[in-house]
């Protein structure tokens, strides 16, 4: 019975980590948009390539933040949470 | 004399490697456990663990300091050396960057921004030596982010605490809780952005290296004896990933951290209110001086 419970905990943590990384879609689309617009801008005004690139990289980094939050949650779920949850279960069972 | 500084700078990085080799237990296969705790200081308030990340970050600080001393030792006005040219180039670039992003008022920020850039870039690049990069520990980055947050708040308060309080009620007072949350979210997002990028790079590198070991065992299993055990695919292939994750991402995140610091500090500064306050104070001081003058003249009469 205890093995089943621990298995459910581990499986839940892995599934949760996978679900959390769905958030990777958003920054991907957003950064793609930003880079596409930057390419257009450089095509229109090649002389301001440096400024456009710097601003684009800044914007990409800020847009990436949500994805990184998801990544941190996923890393916690994989490497930290299982041990904690199993400990809680063991304490509850006694 | 200047060579001594260069050797000291290299020595402090070598010290970090030596500490890692001597005190951190070796591990086999996947092992992502965070920084190794060397020992714990007992203080009255709270136990203070001294971790690998802290020690490495001290080593990086020493290395950057000695590198700066090396670059700036023996400055001359003519017949300048390459070393001095590099130093002048760095100073000029950072000053231009700060002036174009923050304006004339914040020109004194150039050394601070250069320090953040150098420390962050060297910390991320220290993973190339095989030591634990300090930037992949949230505690180190959170310290920097809190420092930047204090700076932001200080410059927002420059025009008086009342104007700072009033800025939370913009555009309508109903949004004050959301404004406070977004204020607190600034250092958190700065810390998580830098730390997440570096940490994800190192985790992906480890996973790829372990995966390549398994694949090469499968492919080369026909070789006799010990030859089949050697992970051939791990030679060179993970280095391609390292170019992106260690070199490019590390430098880019350092630049972005410095850039965001500049933007937040200069963006939050209420320039008009500060100018008005300065003018008011000056007028008051002038009036006081005039009154004192008049009193003096009266007394003389």
Residue B161 lies in a domain: yes
CATH of the domain at A61: 1.20.20.10
The stretches in chain B having pLDDT less than 70 are: 27-33
Helix axes A65-75, A25-44, angle to 10 degrees: 150
Half-sphere CA count of B167, side-chain side, radius 13 A: 18
Residue B288 lies in a domain: no
Residue A79's pLDDT is 84
Domain that holds residue A55: 20-93
Residue B12 lies in a domain: yes
Contact criterion met (CB < 8 Å) for A72 and B196: yes
Rounded to the nearest 10°, the torsion over CA B80, B84, B85, B91 is -140
Residues of A in contact with B193 (CB under 8 A): 61-62, 64-65, 68
| Residue tagged 């930057």 (tokens) | A38
pLDDT of A70 strictly over 80? yes
Alpha-carbon B137 to chain mean position: 12
Task: Answer with the residue of higher pLDDT: A9 or B221.
Answer: A9
Residue A11's pLDDT is 94
* Cα A91 from Cα B277, distance rounded (Å): 61
Radius of gyration of the CA atoms of chain A, in A: 21
| DSSP conformational letter for B25 | P
Instruction: Residue B206: name the closest of B247, B238, B237 by CA.
Output: B238
Residue A39's pLDDT is 94
Residue B33's pLDDT is 67
Global ipTM: 0.73
Residues of B in contact with A68 (CB under 8 A): 192-193, 196-197, 200
- Structure tokens given for B270: 């209420």
Residue B28's pLDDT is 62
| DSSP conformational letter for B73 | T
Nearest CA in chain B to A58: B256
Total domains in the fold of chain A: 1
Q: Best mutation site among B124, B139, B193 for testing chain A: the one with the most A CBs within 10 Å? A: B193
Q: How far is CA A47 from CA A33, A41, B249, in A?
A: 21, 10, 26
Residue A13 lies in a domain: no
To 5 degrees, how large is the angle CA B221–CA B226–CA B228?
A: 20
pLDDT of A38 strictly over 90? yes
Q: Best mutation site among A63, A66, A68 for testing chain B: the one with the most B CBs within 10 Å? A: A68
pLDDT of A66 strictly over 70? yes
* Cα B3 from Cα A74, distance rounded (Å): 47
| Residue tagged 């970090």 (tokens) | B16
Region A73-88 average pLDDT? 88
Contact criterion met (CB < 8 Å) for B253 and A71: no
Residues of A in contact with B255 (CB under 8 A): 57
pLDDT of A94 strictly over 80? no
Q: Does A75 touch chain B (CB under 8 A)?
A: yes
Contact criterion met (CB < 8 Å) for A65 and B256: no
Total domains in the fold of chain B: 1
Domain that holds residue B53: 2-24+31-269
């Amino acid at each position: 019975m205890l093995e089943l419970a621990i298995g459910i905990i581990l499986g839940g943590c892995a599934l949760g980590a996978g679900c959390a990384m769905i958030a990777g879609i958003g920054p991907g689309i957003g950064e793609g948009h930003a880079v596409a617009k930057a390419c257009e801008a450089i095509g229109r005004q090649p002389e301001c390539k440096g400024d456009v690139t710097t601003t684009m990289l800044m914007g990409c980094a800020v847009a990436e933040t949500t994805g990184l939050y998801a990544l941190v949650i996923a890393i916690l779920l994989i490497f930290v949470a299982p041990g904690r949850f199993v400990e809680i279960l063991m304490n509850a069972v006694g | 004399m200047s060579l001594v500084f260069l050797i000291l700078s290299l020595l402090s990085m070598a010290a970090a490697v030596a500490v890692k080799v001597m005190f951190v237990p070796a591990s086999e296969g996947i092992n992502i456990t965070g920084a190794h705790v060397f020992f714990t200081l007992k203080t009255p308030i709270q136990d203070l663990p001294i971790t690998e990340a802290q020690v490495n970050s001290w080593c990086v600080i020493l290395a950057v300091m000695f590198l700066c001393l090396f670059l700036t030792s023996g400055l001359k006005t003519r017949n300048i050396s390459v070393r001095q040219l590099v130093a002048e180039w760095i100073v000029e670039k950072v000053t231009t960057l700060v002036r174009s992003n923050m304006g004339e008022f914040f020109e004194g920020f150039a050394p601070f921004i250069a320090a953040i850039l150098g420390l962050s870039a060297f910390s991320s690049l220290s993973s190339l030596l095989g030591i634990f990069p300090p930037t992949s520990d949230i505690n180190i980055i959170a310290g920097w982010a809190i420092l930047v947050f204090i700076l932001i708040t200080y410059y927002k308060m420059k025009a008086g605490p009342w104007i700072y309080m009033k800025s939370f009620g913009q555009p309508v007072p109903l949004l004050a809780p959301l404004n406070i949350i977004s204020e607190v979210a600034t250092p958190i997002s700065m810390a998580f952005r830098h730390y997440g990028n570096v940490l994800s790079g190192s985790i992906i590198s480890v996973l790829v290296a372990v995966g390549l070991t398994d694949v090469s065992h499968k492919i080369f299993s026909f070789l006799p004896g010990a030859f089949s055990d050697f992970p051939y695919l791990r030679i060179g292939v993970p280095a391609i990933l390292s170019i992106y994750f260690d070199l490019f991402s590390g430098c880019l995140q350092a630049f972005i951290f410095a850039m965001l610091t500049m933007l937040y500090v200069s963006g939050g500064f209420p320039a008009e209110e500060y100018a008005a306050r300065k003018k008011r104070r000056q007028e008051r001081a002038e009036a006081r001086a005039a009154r004192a003058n008049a009193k003096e003249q009266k007394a003389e009469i």
